[in-house]
Amino acid sequence: MSSSSPSPLPPLAPPPQSPMALPGFTWGVATASFQIEGATHADGRLASIWDTFCDTPGKVLNGDTGANACDHFNRWEADVDMIAALGVDAYRLSLAWPRVMDEKGRPNQKGIDFYKHLLDRLEAKGLQRFVTLYHWDLPQHLEDRGGWLNRDTAYRFAEYADLMSRELQGRVTSYASLNEPWCSAFLGYGNGHHAPGRSSVRYARQAMHHLLLGHGLALQALKANDPGAQRGIVANFGRGTPETSSPADVRAAQLFELQHNDWVLGPLLKGAYPADLDSLWPGSAPLVLEGDMATIAQPLDFLGANYYFRTQLKSDGGHGYIETDVPNVERTQMGWEVYPQGLEDLLRDFKSRYPNLPPVFITENGMASDDQVEAGQVHDAQRISFLNRHFAAVARAIEAGVDVRGYFVWSLMDNFEWAFGYERRFGLVHVDYQTQQRTLKDSALAFQAFLAARKQG
């Protein structure tokens, strides 16, 4: 090979003996409405809490906003062609609640039609449609009335789910009610890192309860209106490991996972919040009305699992924990440790502790890196390595008996990374935010090659 010849791409694929390599396993890419659509004032779209948060000085890195994002609202046809060309089985997207309803809860037909056209084109390309109803963009007018601290928001969410499942009936393969309720509750209402920027553990626990209540009510509407579609929820999960083997540090790691994982899974799969939350956060219990927990614990067709990194913990000397640094480890652009074993550990743990664990889809997994276009190419070898190691971790979990049905890489393309703006790039596809030029990174090309080979084989 001459020195001027391009180096061959490293392969991106699960272990060849894994069920993940067979046709029945679902491979996809994922995005979220606020992160890619832009057009925040088009066709009657209302303001969301993230529009307000972006406009608040100091909340988002570099003062970035979602006003333009990836301009997907205007480029969706070409973007769908790009998704189809990758060869994936499915596309996970979210609907923008502020785009489809007005302040009085009446349908905004122009916004609804945008999603109908998008879903129809995805179907025409042979792609399964995994639709998330809520990926954090709460209409601002609802936040003005208390947001997720107001029980009424759960009922407004159910009305939104009812409307969209009637409008989109037959167009959707799978519905997820919420994306990452832990982030909405804790980052939005507990520490203020995300919109709407409130900071109280008591707020976080009440917001979580209303989010999960809204989920349960929404599932009832989805089942009634579009019974042919799958129904579930997407949650982010955190792996905690103790700094030492001392009982206090082991307990600290357990409390971390209880707060990150069982706070959500307990109500969904056991119909109860973990009792230890009250010792971790005394005096912060939410108001729970009779029948709420039964509504939340609706049967799930699937659980979407999002995983990115682990956290090391030590005891705070009392009833809590302190996060500690792990030195000399590989990290991503976000500063997150690359720890694939955590994904396997979590999946195996959930199966052992929740006998009614539904089938699982890995709905987000990926990494941010400071990717640059050089001579029309983007060399992101770390991302290929990252994904291969996480594919292998899921393959081991499947071998151990966990029912994992699919894997969605986060993300299809670089986009608005919430409080980090446009600096952090998670995409398989590079986006030049000035020109909106899309460039497939090496990871996208390697993923495309694997998917093509799988279909041929």
> What is d(CA 359, CA 233) in angstroms, rounded to the nearest whole number?
11
pLDDT at 1 exceeding the cut of 60: no
- Tens of pLDDT, residue by residue over 238-297, are 999 999 999 999 999 999 999 999 999 999 999 999 999 999 999 999 999 999 999 999
Bond before 247 cis per omega within 30 degrees: no
Q: β-strand 90-94 against 174-179: which pairing, if any?
A: unpaired
Which pLDDT value is given to residue 4?
Answer: 44
Secondary-structure percent of the chain, ordered helix, strand, coil, rounded to 5? 45, 15, 40
Considering the chain, what percentage of its residues have pLDDT values greater than 70? 98
Region 5-21: what's the mean pLDDT?
88
SS3 408: strand
Which pLDDT value is given to residue 6?
Answer: 59
Its pTM surpasses 0.95: yes
* 364 counts as catalytic: yes
SS3 string, 208-267, reads HHHHHHHHHHHHHHHHHHCCCCEEEEEEECCEEEECCCCHHHHHHHHHHHHHHHHHHHHH
- Tens of pLDDT, residue by residue over 199-222, are 999 999 999 999 999 999 999 999
Which pLDDT value is given to residue 456?
Answer: 86
Domains of the chain plus CATH, in order, are 20-456 (3.20.20.80)
Q: Map tokens 């988002």 to a residue.
A: 60
- Tens of pLDDT, residue by residue over 329-344, are 999 999 999 999 999 9
Q: If pLDDT is split at 50, 70 and 90, which confidence band does 182 have?
A: very high
pLDDT at 3 exceeding the cut of 90: no
Which pLDDT value is given to residue 8?
Answer: 82
What's the burial of 26, exposed, middle or buried (CB within 10 Å: 0-12/13-18/19+)?
buried
| 59 DSSP assignment | S
- Whether 129 and 117 have beta carbons less than 8 Å apart is answered as no
Among 133, 249, 230, 113, residue whose Cα is nearest residue 180: 133
pLDDT at 5 exceeding the cut of 90: no
- Whether 444 and 399 have beta carbons less than 8 Å apart is answered as no
- Tens of pLDDT, residue by residue over 39-60, are 999 999 999 999 999 999 999 9
Among 376, 240, 377, 250, residue whose Cα is nearest residue 309: 240
Average pLDDT, the chain: 97
Query: 74 Cβ partners below 8 Å, 6+ apart?
Result: 38, 39
Query: 416 Cβ partners below 8 Å, 6+ apart?
Result: 34, 35, 36, 64, 65, 66, 69, 70, 422
- Choose the catalytic residue: 180, 243, 364, 417: 364
Length of the chain: 457
- Whether 147 and 49 have beta carbons less than 8 Å apart is answered as yes
